[in-house]
Amino acid sequence: MLALGVVYVVWGSSYLAMRFLVSSAPPLLGAGTRFLTAGVLLAGIVAVVSGPGALRLRPSWLGSAALTGLLLPAMGSGLVTVAERHVASGLAALLVAGVPLFVALARWALGDRPPTGTVVGVVVGLAGLVVLLAVRDGFGGTHDAAWWGPPLVLVAALGSSVGSVVAVRLPVSPYPFAQCAAEMAFGGGALTAAGLVAGERVAVDAVSGDSWWAWLYLVTFGAVLAFAAYAFALRALPVSTVSTYAYVNPVVAVVLGATVVGEPVTPSQLVGGGLVLLAVVLVTLAERGGPAGRGTGHRRRESGGGSAFRRASVAA
């Protein structure tokens, strides 16, 4: 349970850390270098623990890492980082909490028959997202609020959802952390390239100490430590228990945003966020008893055979 507690706190606090990061650092380059650095660190750990041979990835595994890296760390976390210049970290976390709902919709589109509870949860969650998108007084970003901030977070959540669904269907390395390191490297490289093309540059003397500390926290705790704790939790606890991070992280993010930097928590955010979190609980409970939640084969794939970003989505 200690490992799960790390996931709760660290990934929940990552939203606030991203807000501090973009307060004075360019968002695309900040997110890109974060994932590139984390990927290198994780690859080094894999080489020490499992041997350099664990880092040899077949072309098909590299292709999977490239696709999931673009969808999850790049499109998912990267776009959230950009949006947090204009959206409060707590609101961003509540919008991202809708990822399990989008995953259910994507699986439905691919032919999976969802349980009735999943359908009810998706309807409730979409209603909550509509309420959150209607919020106009709680953006609370570090720069001037922009109307496209919340929709951009939803685009990030959609990208993460698609990545979560397709990742389980792709060939991957038997060493999940090696696969994860490659995903972060591809995603970080894409974000860094996008930042350079967009004209972003890093003026070291213009980046505040808060941004540097936030970047370091996101690399070490948000990426490397939290993913290790997440993987350990999946081995030690039922998947349904570990998946509770999806509705605990937003609560942690909202509380930290309100208490640390005074982000507003409006009635509409409470109503919309409450509906989204209720929906995630409904979907989690419904899926726990469905075909996807039964059988040792599924448990084995969840605990090591697939993408390390598959279930974690953009929380890191």
Q: Give the pLDDT confidence of 64-75 residue by residue, as tens digits.
A: 999 999 999 999
Helix extents (H) in 110-168: 116-133, 149-167
What stretches in the chain show pLDDT beneath 70? 135-145, 239-240, 289-316
Half-sphere exposure of 218 (CA within 13 A, CB side): 33
Distances (CA, A) of 78 to 155, 194, 314: 11, 10, 9
Nearest Cα residue to 61 out of 207, 177, 143: 177
Half-sphere exposure of 276 (CA within 13 A, CB side): 30
99-136: buried (b, 16+ CB within 10 Å) or exposed (e) per residue?
bbbbbbbbbeeeeeebbebbeebbebbbebbebbeebe
In the chain, domain spans: 2-305
Please tell me the predicted confidence (pLDDT) of residue 312.
53
- Measured distance CA(18)–CA(24) in Å, rounded: 11
DSSP code string of 164-227: HHHHTTS---S-HHHHHHHHHHHHHHHHHHHHHHTT----GGGS-HHHHHHHHHIIIIIIIIHH
Q: Give the pLDDT confidence of 185-194 residue by residue, as tens digits.
A: 999 999 999 9
- Measured distance CA(307)–CA(276) in Å, rounded: 25
| Residue 45, token pair as written in the block | 């750990």
Nearest Cα residue to 227 out of 181, 288, 196: 181
- Measured distance CA(184)–CA(205) in Å, rounded: 27
Entry pTM: 0.86
Q: What is the CB neighbour count within 10 angstroms for residue 16?
A: 27
**Measured on CA atoms in the order 207, 313, 72, 61, is the torsion positive or negative?**
positive
